Amino acid sequence: MRHEQGASLDPVDWDEFRAQAHGMLDDMCDYLQQIRSRPVWQAAPEQVRRDFLRPLPARGRPLDEVHQQFMEQILPYTVGNPHPGFFGWVHGAGTPVGMLAEMLAAGLNVNLGGRDQVPLEVERQVIRWMADLCGFPAHASGVFVTGSSMANLLAVLVARHACLGDEVRQQGVRDRHALVAYAASSAHGCIAQAMEMSGLGRAQLRVIPVDRRHRMDLAALDAAVAADRAAGRRPFLVVATAGTVDVGAVDDLTAVADAAQRHRLWMHVDGAYGALAMLAPALRPLLKGLERADSLACDLHKWGQVPYDAGLLLVRDGAAHLATFSSAEQYLRRDSRGMAANSPWPCDLGPDLSRGFRALKAWFTLQVHGADQLGRSIDGSCQLARYLAGRILVQPELELLAPVTLNIVCFRHRDSGPEVDQLNAAIVADVQQSGLAAPSATTVNGQLAIRCAIVNHRTRQADIETLLRAVLDSGARLLRQRC
């Protein structure tokens, strides 16, 4: 396919381009329709890796040739999260609908930093849907970001501003502030990182132990806050988790909200994947108290199945959110009419100025599938997790390492000797390399666990059986080899 020789990057022959475009769409429909027939994951051959060392081409190549390279060298070598046998990490599977919405968004190529355009209303509508779902009030605000790592960082910044006021925007963080935050030991690593990046420092995050159900120990929280106050520091933030990344536990959000109220702390909930359990009526009671949070981080690209990336920050007090980030640069001046109207803009609610139309794929997904179907898929993955836990309990070679609250099952293969961690790490690598299923490894209570996170809407009971068989086969083989 030829492109114009001048400065324009449009095709010379649109009919030819159209035919190529349809072929590319067909290839991706085939990929998704036939995903079960592929290995979940396979390592890329050296030759393929080498091809990615080629220098920047001065002269272009035909589109069909580059697409062919994509099909042969990129498509087969992803981690495979759209595959129903992918259990490794809390990754969403995406959907065919989301894929199309991505194409439409790319075609429009809108910049969602702001201005008077309807795509902003799409983002606001999705934010409002999510705020309503989570029980946030009408004056709540929100913004799409890459993911919960970013949303958690922004939440720390909003909480910091709510505590220190505009002074922190002018003067930065002063030592004498000595702000202290609290999160359970099960909190995601991005919380400590947010403390680093916000200038508060990782040492200002108190790590609260968890109880047997892997939930924040509230008595320990009370004691930590009291000790900090007695030492003249300023407790300002508690971060609860709805759906921990290791075992899928949910902190007691009502108790955390009570503690936050008692101690006058900003309550942030990292609901990266778990907050969407609100879509499943049977799971909603687990999240009681979420509606009392001051802010919430939530990903639509995990349980929401929206293609990457689509994270959200919601803030109960929209004015506090705006006050943290809005600025008065002249080139961003607002007006009551013309394209500079329709303020505030998403660029007032976070650090991003140029922003893609992430909201569109979320809007399509929520509209086409509806809250009920998405909720059924979320509930379905929790049912499969309980099924897997049940199968493990009756399998003498296996043992469960953590209670199953949502969709994550941590277990291991038993071993009489001291090499049980090595055995289970080897099983995880074996099963991944088999291409049959993809669990991951984590550490639970100091023991290496095979971690199976069921997030994928395509996963069925048969896929769970395939995983179990692969684990048992690998375990038996490794134990045989040892003697």
Ligand X SMILES: *Cc1c(COP(=O)(O)O)cnc(C)c1O
Q: How far is the CB of 388 from ligand X (least distance, A)?
A: 19
User: Which phi-psi region, left, alpha or beta, contains residue 19 (left: φ > 0; alpha: ψ -120 to 50)?
Assistant: alpha
In terms of CB distance, is 272 or 384 closer to ligand X?
A: 272
Tokens of 13: 């022959």
Tokens of 308: 């990457």
Q: What angle do CA 222, 224, 230 make, to 5 degrees?
A: 100
Q: State how far the Cα of 201 lies from the Cα of 196, in Å rounded to an integer.
A: 4
In terms of CB distance, is 149 or 424 closer to ligand X?
A: 149
* Pairing status of strand 266-270 against strand 234-241: parallel
Phi, psi torsion values for 187, nearest 5 degrees: -65, 155
Say how many CA atoms lie within 13 Å of 333 toward its Cβ.
5
Q: What does the binding site for ligand X look like in residue numbers (CB under 6 A)?
A: 90, 147-149, 188, 190, 241, 243-245, 270, 272-273, 299, 311
Which residue has the closest beta carbon to ligand X? 147
Q: How far is the CB of 117 from ligand X (least distance, A)?
A: 26
In terms of CB distance, is 20 or 440 closer to ligand X?
A: 440
Q: State how far the Cα of 351 lies from the Cα of 206, in Å rounded to an integer.
A: 27
**CB-based contact 213:403 (threshold 8 Å):** yes
The residue type found at 460 is: R
In terms of CB distance, is 112 or 296 closer to ligand X?
A: 296
* Pairing status of strand 266-270 against strand 295-299: parallel
In terms of CB distance, is 208 or 436 closer to ligand X?
A: 208
Q: Spell out the residues 6+ positions from residue 70 whose beta carbon is closer than 8 angstroms to its own.
A: none
In terms of CB distance, is 185 or 326 closer to ligand X?
A: 185
Burial class of 284 by CB neighbour count within 10 A (0 to 12, 13 to 18, 19+)? middle
Q: How far is the CB of 241 from ligand X (least distance, A)?
A: 5
In terms of CB distance, is 55 or 189 closer to ligand X?
A: 189
Q: How far is the CB of 408 from ligand X (least distance, A)?
A: 10
In terms of CB distance, is 80 or 92 closer to ligand X?
A: 92
Q: How far is the CB of 190 from ligand X (least distance, A)?
A: 5
In terms of CB distance, is 244 or 474 closer to ligand X?
A: 244
In which element (H, E) is residue 270 found? strand 266-270
Q: How far is the CB of 332 from ligand X (least distance, A)?
A: 27
Q: How far is the CB of 19 from ligand X (least distance, A)?
A: 37
* R_g of the chain, CA atoms, integer Å: 24
Q: How far is the CB of 273 from ligand X (least distance, A)?
A: 5
- Residue 70's DSSP bridge partners are none
**CB-based contact 222:228 (threshold 8 Å):** no
Q: How far is the CB of 147 from ligand X (least distance, A)?
A: 2
C-alpha to C-alpha distances, 145 to 299, 358, 364, nearest whole angstrom = 9, 8, 17
In which element (H, E) is residue 441 found? strand 440-444
In terms of CB distance, is 145 or 470 closer to ligand X?
A: 145
Q: How far is the CB of 309 from ligand X (least distance, A)?
A: 7
